[in-house]
Structure 1
Amino acid sequence: MKFNHLIRFTPIYQSRVWGGRRMETLLGAALPDATTPFGEAWTVCDRPEAPSVTADGVTLHELWTNHREAVFGKTLLKSTSPTFPLLMKILDACDDLSIQVHPPASMAEELKGEPKTEMWYIAHADPGAKIYAGLKPGATRADFETALLNGTVADVVHVIEARTGDCLFIPSGRVHAIGAGLLIYEIQQNSDTTYRVFDWNRVGLDGKPRALHVQESMQSIDFTDFEPGVQQVQSNGTLVNCEYFNVKVLSGSKLAGIPGESLTIAVVSGKITVGGTTLKAGDFALVPATLASPSRLVKPADAESQWLEIRVPV
C-alpha cells in the first residue's frame, strides 16, 4: 500500500440534544438526514464504537496497527498506545452543553474511566455566545456543593465571552461547558469519558433526564482552577503545546511539515489545496509521513483561508 497522497476519512455524525444543523449550513456537510440535530462529527477517530474509515474501506486503526512507520513516521513507532492517541471532532452547540469534567490521569483508573485533556478552536461564535471553564475566583468546594443542591452551578463557574478564532485549553479536571451558539473544532486525547455534574434540568432526545455523574465529578474537579483565559497565539502559530498534542493555526503558502513527519490538517475557514487535493472549511486530512515535499505545499485560496496543524508529540 502506497501513501503518496492525503488520507481522508468519512465523518461519523452523532445526534445530540444540544446539536443542530450548522455543519450543513456553515460547512456544507452532507448530514445523514434532514431533521436530526447533529451535535458532533467525529472526523479522526480510532475507537471501536466509531472507527474512522477511508473511502477505500481502510480504518484508522489498520493504519496505526499495520502501517505505523509509513503513515505516522519513525518517531511514533515507539508509541505504546494500542490506538491512534488523538480524537478529533467538530461540535455544533445550538444549546448549552452540560457542565461537566473529564477525569485526571490520577483518578481515571479508580473511576473506571479514561483521562481526557482537550482543546477547543472556535470556528464560529454567535453574538453573546459563552464558554464556561474553571471556577469563579474564590469559589470553594462547599460553594459548589451548595450550588448543586440549589440548581445554580452556573453561578460558580467562570464565564468567558466566546469569539470566532478563540482557543481554550481544557486539561483533565477543569470543569467546563460549551455554550449555545458555537461551532467548535475539538482536539483531545482518545477518550470518551465525560462526567456530567449539571445539565440545566433538561431532558434528552428520549424525553428522559440525562444521567448525571455527581460523585465522579466531585472527585475529578480541580477546585484550585480559577478563571482560565483563552490561549494566546504564538509567533509560529502555536495555540496549544502539551504532552498529548501540538496544535497550530496557520495561513499563507507553506509546507505542511517535512518528509518523515505525520500531521493532520483541519481547515477552519476558506479553502486550501495540498498536493492537488482541495480542502474546504470542515475538512480534515492526515498527511502521511511518506509524503514528499512537493505534495506538502499548502496553497490557500485567499488571505482568509486558515487551517490547524495537529501533531502527536514525540
Structure 2
Amino acid sequence: MANITAEILSLDQIREIAITVLTAAGMDANGGSLIANIVTQSERDGLRSHGLRMLPFYVQSFQSGYANPVARPLIERIAPGVLRGDGDNGYYQIAAALAQDDLAGIAQENGIAAFTCANCHHLAALRFDTESFAEAGLIALMMVNSLSMVVPQGGVRPVFGTNPMSFACPRKGMAPVVWDQASSMMALMDIKLAAAEGRDLPRAAGLDSTGQPSTDPKAILETCSLLPFGEHKGAAIAFLVEVLGAALAGGALSVDNADRDAHGALNIKGGSTLIVIDPARFGNASFDDYLTRICAEIEGNGDARVPGDGRLKHRAAADSDGVAVSAELISQLRNIH
C-alpha cells in the first residue's frame, strides 16, 4: 500500500473547502451549500469515497457543460400520492430539497407518497437522501440508476449501473436506522479509492482484460466491468433499480452513455424514485416496539450490528477529533479553486 500522508481537518474546514470549490465552479449559494453539506457528511460518516474526493467530478461536470450549476428544478403533483421532478440538468439534491416538505406531508396524509426525478445528476451516497425522513418519523426507500458498468450474471458486457438503493426508518430513542448499498460487489468510488491508495480489493469485484474476476482495482477500472453482489441476486436488484429509477422516472438508461461520453463525465442523467411511508398510518400502533425488538435481536449477536450503524461511531469521532484527509487531495482541491 502506498504511503499516504494526511492532515486533520474539522468538519467546518471540510465544508469550507467544499463550498469554495463548488462556488468557484459556478454553483450558486443554495446548490453549493446543499452539495457541500453532503460532502461534509460523507467525510463525517467515514464514507471517504463520496466526500472530498468527489469534488473534482462535480467540478468536471460543470466545466464540461454537462451539468447545470445554477439549476432551477420544477416539481409538480401528478397524482394524489405522486410528485414528479425535472431537475433542470442540475443535481438531484437541489430538486429533492424543494420536494421534501410536500412529500412528507403527502405521506402523512395518505400513508405513502412517491417522488420521481429525471433530468438530473447524482454523485453522492443515497443515505443522505433518506435519513432526514427517518429523523421525522417516516420510512424512506430510494433508488437511482447510474452509468452501465455492471455485467449481469452470465453476461459479457455491462448493462446496469452500480444502481444503488437506500433505506431509512425511525428508531425510538436512537438515531434512525439508515443504510445504502450498491447493486455491484463494490461501489465504483470505493474501487477508485483503492486504486488511488495502491491496495488490492478484499474480494474480486470486477473483470480484468481477460474476462476473469479480479481484486486489482486498476485492472477493473480499465475494463469498467464490475460484478453484481451475490451473482444473480445482485443482478436482479440492479434490474429493479433500473426499472424504478430510469423507467419510472423517465431518466436515461444505464446504457445510454453517448452524452456522458461526449462530456467525459462520471455519471449519466439517470432517474430516481423516492418512496416515503408514514408508519403511523398503517394500523400497527406497536411499530416502534417491533423496530426495537428487531434491532435487539441483532445487537449482541456475535459481531453483528444493525445495518448502517457503523456510521454512528465515525460521526462521534469526527465531531470530537476531526477527519484525516490526504494531504495530496487537499493540495489538489486548493489548486482547483
Shorter-chain TM-score tier:
under 0.3
Higher helix share: 2
Higher strand share: 1
